[in-house]
Amino acid sequence: MAVTINDTTYSGKAASPWLVKATTDFATVNKGLIYVADTVRKKLTIPRFAMDSLIQDRAATPASAGTGTVDGQVITPADFMVYWEFNPRDFETHWEAEVLSDLLIGRRLSAEAEAVILGEVSKYVNSRQDFMVWRSRTTNTNDLKYYNGLIKKMLDDSDVIDIATPVTLTSGNIEDKLEAVKDAIPDSIYDHPDFKYIVNVKTAKLWADAQRTATYKGSGLTEAGVMQFDGRPVVAVPGLHDDTIVGTYASNGPGSNLWMGINSAGDESLVQLDFLQANSELMFVKMLMKADVNYGWGSEIVLYTTQTA
C-alpha cells in the first residue's frame, strides 16, 4: 500500500494534466472481435439451433424427417475486483502539493489528480482484460485465474478444428501457417463477412516482416505490412499467446462466434474512490467486476497454437 513518489523536486507549478503512459485499451472489444453481453448477473446461454437430415424422397403423404437441436454454450461470470489504498499526503513532496486541499485533516488530491488516478486504474484493468479473455485458466495462480479463457475452452473442445503439429511461428513460416488455417476453414463459413485471423502483436509483426522480405511481392521497407491474408483481416490483440492463430467469424454483434458476459458494460469505468474510514487519512480505489467468455460453435473455429490443454 503506497504511492511511490520518484519526483520530489516540487518547487512550484508544473504542467497539468499529468502525462500518463500509453496503455493498450481493451483491444479484443475495440477491434470488433467479441460480442459483449451486458447485465449477466448469474448465467447466460449462447443459444444454438441446428437442423439435420431434412431432405427425403418424394412421397404423396410424407412422414416427418429430420431433427432440430436446440442447445447452448453457457457463460458464468466470475467475481474479481480491484482494491488499492494510498495516502494522498504522499503528494506533499510532489508538484501536486500546490493543489492539495488546505485542511490537514481530510486532505485529499484535487479533482483533476483523482480523475487521473481513476483513469489509470481503468486503463490498467482494460489492458489486463485482453489477457484474461484469451489466457485465463482456473488453474492459474495470478490474475488470470478467475475463469477459463477462450484458448483453454478451445483446447478442451473436440469440435474445434486444430491444426496438427504446430511449431514456433517465424517470418519464414508464418505464410504457410496462415495458409494451413485458411485451408481448414469449413466451407460453410469460408465466405463469412466477419471471418478474421486473430493473432497477437508479435505474430502480426512477423506477418509484416514476411511481406517485406518476400522475394517477388510484398511491402517495401518503409511501408506498414498489410494486415490481411486471403482477403480477410489479420487482427492483432495483445492478450493472445505467442505462436497462436485463431480463425473464426468475430464481431461486436450477437452474430459473433466469440462472446463475453459481464455484469455491467461500465464495470471497467465505474470505480469508487473515498476515504478508508472516518479516522483514517488513507484513501482507496475499488472496482467490483464479473466476467466470463465462451463461443457459439467450436466446429466453426480453426485453432493453430503451441499451447496445450
Domains of the chain listed by start with CATH number = 27-50+68-305 (3.90.1690)
Residue 249: helix, strand or coil by DSSP?
strand
pLDDT digits (tens, 9 = 90+) for 32-63: 999 988 777 677 777 666 666 777 777 887 88
Binned at pLDDT 50, 70 and 90, residue 303 comes out as very high
Which candidate, 272, 296, 286, 270, places its Cα nearest to that of 75? 296
- At residue 279, what is the residue type? N
Distance of alpha carbon 295 from alpha carbon 86, whole angstroms: 40
Which candidate, 178, 168, 155, places its Cα nearest to that of 235? 178
pLDDT digits (tens, 9 = 90+) for 80-113: 888 988 888 777 666 566 666 666 665 677 777 7
Distance of alpha carbon 226 from alpha carbon 203, whole angstroms: 13
Residue 118 in contact with residue 55, Cβ under 8 Å?
no
Please name the helix (run of DSSP H) or strand (run of DSSP E) that holds residue 233, with its range, or none. Answer: strand 232-236
Average pLDDT, the chain: 84
pLDDT digits (tens, 9 = 90+) for 237-273: 999 999 999 999 999 999 999 999 887 655 555 678 8
pLDDT greater than 90 at residue 28: yes
pLDDT digits (tens, 9 = 90+) for 217-240: 666 665 677 899 999 999 999 999
Q: Give phi and psi for 249, each to the nearest 5.
A: -90, 130
- pLDDT of res. 246: 98
Cα-based angle 103, 106, 112 (whole degrees, multiple of 5):
85
Contact partners, residue 15, CB within 8 Å, separation at least 6 = none
Cell numbers for 230, please give them: 486471403
Cell numbers for 263, please give them: 455484469
Residue 116: helix, strand or coil by DSSP?
helix
Residue 174 in contact with residue 210, Cβ under 8 Å?
yes
